[in-house]
Amino acid sequence: MFGIFKPRTFFNLANNSIFWLKTIFVLTLIVGLILALVLSPIDYLQKDTVRIMYVHVPSSWIALFIFLIIGVSSFVSLIFKIRVFSVYAKSLAPIGLVFSLISIVTGSLWGYPTWGTFWSWDGRLTSMFILVLSYILYVSLWSLIKNYNLAEKITNIIGIVGLINIPIIKFSVVWWNTLHQPASITLTAAPTIHSSMLAPLLIMFFCFCILSLIIFLIRYKYEIINFRVNKK
């Protein structure tokens, strides 16, 4: 069952799946953009600026989910000494950083016409900013610390500590008064967003997930070689 996590098995899986993943990505991107930019309705208050949602929301979800994977992988690597999980985390980190930056930028662009300001230090924005800083710190330490084993241990700790921020981001709109509205999509209730907007939103999320997986597999092929060279 867990054989897929063996470096050689995962390496071969990456080689065999990238072409098909690229095909799926292109197809879903085309469908998602048509639905998001052409067929989905405008909001009666936000007008066409609501279309920023189709990039902002999926990017935010992916940024959170990737750091969750990084934190769990760091825990497994540090506590259980299954060091290949630190390779997964290292391969994912730059992807999560990019999506967290996209989330911040698109959120600001969406927020200005909606709230009248590009930025406010409310609970959601502040915790997302901390997430960006966590990503920057994690990625930077891998680059700055030349001793591979030391870098691995320190970044594992950063990944584990950073997990604290994930539920804060998720529940910030519940715990504090923020500019953000409560979540429109949850696991415990029916979506409050109309299906004409929900469909392109989910398709764009799936598209970004496939893109993240492609980049991850490409990066993993490099990072696993780097790991084998430097591990002691």
List the one residue out of 62, 47, 46, 33 whose CA is nearest residue 181.
46
Range of the domain at 189: 2-230
Compute the mean pLDDT over every residue in the chain, rounded to the nearest whole number: 89
Mean predicted confidence (pLDDT) in 3-27: 81
Q: Above 50 in pLDDT, residue 20?
A: yes
Handedness of CA 37, 38, 40, 41 (dihedral sign): positive
Comparing 32-46, 76-90, 131-145, 170-184, which segment has the lowest mean pLDDT?
170-184
- Token couple for 74: 């760091």
Looking up tokens 């700055």, which residue turns up?
144
pLDDT above 60: residue 226? yes
How far does CA 133 lie from the centroid of its chain? 14
Give the count of domains, the chain: 1
Distance CA 93, CA 77 (A): 15
Report which of 94, 93, 74, 72 is spatially closest to residue 83, judged by C-alpha positions. Answer: 74
CB atoms within 10 A of CB 17: 14
- pLDDT recorded at residue 1: 46
Per-residue confidence (pLDDT) for residue 207, from 0 to 100:
98
